[in-house]
Chain A
Amino acid sequence: MNKSDTHLLEIQNLSACYGKEKTVLSHLFLNLAAHETVGLIGLNGAGKTTLFRVLSGLLPSFRADGIFFDGHCVKFRDKAFKTCRYTVFAEDNSFQYFTFGEYLSYVFASYGQKPWDVTELIKGFHFEDHAHVLLKDLSTGNRKKVFLITAFALKPKLLLLDEPVNGLDFQSTEYLYQLISGYKDYGTVLFSSHILESITLTSDRVIVLENGEIRQTFERGQINASDIRKALHNENNV
């Protein structure tokens, strides 16, 4: 089944739950345009991480009326979809016995690509001194850099970043903002954050998530910190 429109990813009526009782996402309609940067914001427990887990094919307990990628009906666990997206999780302790270089090589091989020069990304994130250290011996922030460098080196069509700013130092955060803003040349970014600045500085569109549903969307030109803050306060009062 094909669907021809300009959306890179279109998800219709998505609901997800943990177990039988705990519904985290309900009746969620999400459209991501090609070459767009979308910020996702919401209070704790709003369903941001669950959405990333569903998109990454990690949560089987979900249902949706339709999932379309590049106009084609897909499943999140299809290899074809997997090779078009990469996720940086809020917390990731995987492959602890690889060094950064080995992890990069492993991921590129998994995506069927050849690793290329990532010197600029390494310098941008000030990661030069840690490239040969096993991931388990890195600090939380440096481990986050491993996955961020890999993500931006891989340049997938769809980049999913779950709270990418957490744990990063000031300089790396600034560099990350630049990378997110410039990613439109390669593909689409969906990223979540609790830092309003990161959302307002980089996003073309901001989605406010509340109790697993999209409460409000701010389009380009409407994005400003005070309105988003207001929306979040309202959510809190609800």
Chain B
Amino acid sequence: MPQISERHCTMKIMFKPFMKKLFGVKYERLSRTLLIDLILFWGLSISGFRTKIAPAVFSLTVSVFTGGVMWQALSSRDNTDDLQNMLMLPFDRRKMVFSYITALGAYTFLTKTALLLAVLLAVSNWGFPGLLTGLLCGIYGILAAAALFSLNRYRYVDGLRIAALTAAIVLSADHPWFLPVILAGCLSSFPVLLYADGYSFASCEKAGRHRRALAPVTGTGMHHRRHSMLRYLLRYLSARKNYLANTGFMWGIACVLPLFFRQMESLAVIPVGFAILSLNTPLCILLSCDPALEQAVRFLPGQERAFCLPYCAFIFLCNLAADSLFLTSWQLLAGGVPFLMFVTALFFALASAVCSVLLEWFLPVRNWKIESDLWHHPRKYIVPAVMLLAAGIIGAMLWG
């Protein structure tokens, strides 16, 4: 018995610092988030809006969303650095891994998945079984993401295991064997996590950094290349694969969006597409997610010109690329894109870039715990919302 109590105590020692870091010293963030969830659920429930959500869609949405957010939390540089510091202490490997995953999992589920569940359960008629399904799918997503993240050599093999299990969960969503399948899915991640090393959660980025630092250096350093902020931003984007993936995803959306929009048979809907495509989160949180960079641009002189203008130009070019893909796709699928639409695309790309930079300059997001908070911060919807409003007005005026 004393052994169990001792083990419990050690787990608690490791678990508490992670939890306090993520939820605040007095766990104040937890109560705030749950209150928002309740208000959202209650508000949507009394609004009377109801829709039918297929069990397969429900399970897939919750599992993939939770897994994605958990992956972001595990990749967060902030968490990795914290874990590196903890790993210097002589903790038990398994206790460390499970404390870390439990803390990040609780954070992911309670602050992110709970919000999604509040929306889904409020607009559907799922009730308690929905809550249970959501809970199980969330746990499955958390464990699957953690197991996959812990592997370096056999990540692709485990990726196949998770793909197969997810497919099984989706296919069995409205059958009685859903419960055993999802429980099996959750349990199947345990063996991977039992053999996981704490360092595998902290080492990915560090290893990459070390490799790059050892790369051969050419030149003597006497002649210096002139700076280019656009080159800086391209390096920044390409160094962060999830940022690049998000941009690629937006461009993919740009290609398929005309498939849905052309059914509306009005060109007035195209500006709405431009507004949707301005929702490129990682590009628009450059200062918020890099406090050191923010400090530098605040203390150096002339940064409105040296930093903000190239930053704005970069977002403009990314938005324009997405808008161009959207218009090209529309032209190929439906045809009849007038010249004025290209001018409108230019306007939307520029307006959203300017608004995004102004928001970052005057209202950067601060006091976030991990980077994934920034990705899901309500501020990211401000620019698209303003653009949607503009799209409605411009669409009605020119093509209504």
Chain A residues at the B interface, C-beta cutoff of 8 Å: 56-58, 79, 82-83, 87, 89, 92-107, 109-112, 115, 119, 122, 127-134, 136-139
Contacts and interface: CB of A to CB of B under 8 A. Distances in A.
Chain B CB within 10 Å, residue with most, of A93, A97, A98, A112: A97
A99 to B, nearest CB: 7
A107 B302 CA distance: 10
A131 B224 contact: yes
B220 interface: yes
Contacts of A98: 227, 232
B303 interface: yes
Contacts of B227: 98, 102-103, 105-106, 109
Contacts of B295: 58, 89, 92, 94
A107 B300 contact: yes
A129 to B, nearest CB: 6
A57 B262 CA distance: 52
Chain B CB within 10 Å, residue with most, of A89, A101, A119: A101
Interface string B207-251: 001001101011111111111110110011001000000000000
B89 interface: no
B300 A110 contact: yes
B301 A111 contact: yes
Nearest to B209: A137
B298 interface: yes
Contacts of B290: 94
A77 to B, nearest CB: 8
Interface residues of B, number: 35
B221 A128 contact: yes
B306 interface: yes
A100 B224 CA distance: 8
B343 interface: no
A102 B300 contact: no
Chain A CB within 10 Å, residue with most, of B229, B295, B298, B299: B299
B232 A95 contact: yes
Contacts of B306: 106, 109-110
B59 to A, nearest CB: 40
A89 B222 CA distance: 25
Contacts of B209: 136-137
A92 B292 contact: yes
B299 A57 contact: yes
Contact of A132 (B218, B232, B296): B218
B293 interface: yes
A94 B228 contact: no
A110 B213 contact: no
Given A95-B232, A109-B306, A101 B221 contact: yes
Contact of B303 (A110, A128, A137): A110
A138 B212 CA distance: 10
A94 B299 CA distance: 11
Nearest to B301: A82
